[in-house]
A and B are shown apart, each in its own frame.
Chain A
Amino acid sequence: QSVLTQPPSASGTPGQRVTISCSGSSSNIGSNAVNWYQQLPGTAPKLLIYTNNQRPSGVPDRFSGSKSGTSASLAISGLQSEDEADYYCAAWDDSLNGYVFGTGTKVTVL
């Protein structure tokens, strides 16, 4: 059972904006940076957002991240069919002395 909680699913039509939340605690999100990963069906995860709101080279600016207190969010604006994937937040947890992933959110493009 993960210490970072995400909604199991989210959906939108092409062009819409979708937001995914990630709820943690003071020992993880509250005191450490948040990363987001995208996992397309049948493939390895890919780093999507690092240190709360930074995009690696090659990641479209449709993806944005934010953090406030013990929660973080990933927003996908201008949703596209190729965005259909599982998304995971992650952060270091000081109490567990380990890196923890969120429960994951499946994004469906209607």
Chain B
Amino acid sequence: QVHLVQSGAEVKKPGASVKVSCKVSGYTLTELSMYWVRQAPGKGLEWMGGFDPEDGETIYAQKFQGRVTMTEDTSTDTAYMELSSLRSEDTAVYYCATTNRPLFYGMDVWGQGTTVTVSS
């Protein structure tokens, strides 16, 4: 079965960038569609974007367009999410989540989460 392991916690200053990794095992990255979801402290889940298998492109939620970049290294089966121009409101747990079916079936495997703290 699929297993996702994310990189460790990060502390960044406002204006900096952060890059979170998500290592896949059990499947190859090319067999999956990877998505990113974040959760601010005490708040709900927020979808950031991910791979659209229908057209082979990455879709970003409108809120994050221009500030987020999601990439994949198929040689290491690792997905990355980079968020730039960080501000305090970006303090959150960032999750990678995946499925090997269309997204309307839901994201059925999740990473353990990576805490990103933005503070001066």
Contact = CB atoms under 8 A, between A and B. Distances in A.
Interface of A: 2, 32-33, 35, 37, 39, 44-47, 49-51, 56, 86, 88, 90-92, 96-104
B70 to A, nearest CB: 13
A56 B109 CA distance: 11
A97 B50 CA distance: 12
Interface of B: 35, 37, 44-47, 49-50, 59, 61-62, 95, 97, 103-108, 110-113
B69 to A, nearest CB: 16
Contacts of A33: 104-105
Given A35-B106, A37-B45, 15 more contacts: A33-B104, A35-B105, A35-B107, A44-B113, A47-B108, A50-B104, A90-B47, A91-B104, A98-B49, A98-B59, A99-B103, A100-B47, A101-B44, A101-B47, A102-B44
Contacts, number: 66
A2 B40 CA distance: 14
A99 B35 contact: yes
B106 A47 contact: yes
A50 B45 contact: no
Contacts of B112: 44
A88 B45 contact: yes
Nearest to A36: B106
Contact of B45 (A45, A47, A49, A92): A45
